[in-house]
Structure 1
Amino acid sequence: MVRSRRLSEGLSEKSRHVRRGVSLAAGIVSLTFSVAAFSASNASYTYDALGRLITVVYVDGAKRTVINYAYDAAGNRSSTSTVPSS
């Protein structure tokens, strides 16, 4: 059983501020990156228990794009779908 935990860290360099958050829950790993110089922009990456990328979410202001990845039984990427914000 994997316990959920959240980690985050920040790094400041002049006017830039980078934040990274990590969340572990039920074998899913989610990473979120944002840069304060572009506070309305960030990207989130979600991985399955085998370490395969399953979702990417890009947010740029009011625009949100979600990319989903699926894998076959052998672990090969079998499909990619993109859902842009409406």
Structure 2
Amino acid sequence: MKRKKAVALKYNKDYKAPVVTAVGFGEIAEKILNKAKENDIPIVEDTVLVEKLSKVEPSSPIPEELYEAVARIIAFIYSLDEKHKKKE
């Protein structure tokens, strides 16, 4: 069985690039995912992207070659936020 991995990202429009805030494997990955769920933070599963992001040092911006993949995720999350706002 493969060990679970999780990476947390933080981004706002003032940032040059999203920043990796946490990287975890196994039990730590579970804690990252549980914290996200507790705080209604969207979780996107992408094993290839997590593999690449898990090599980035926490507090570091993501590498340029991952901008496009992460931008798609951020756009997806913004679209979820917009749909949620319309329901309120």
After TM superposition, the score normalised by the length of structure 2 is 0.29
Choose between structure 1 and 2: higher helix proportion.
2
After TM superposition, the score normalised by the length of structure 1 is 0.30
Which protein has greater RCO, CA pairs closer than 8 Å, 6+ apart?
A: 2
Choose between structure 1 and 2: higher strand proportion.
1
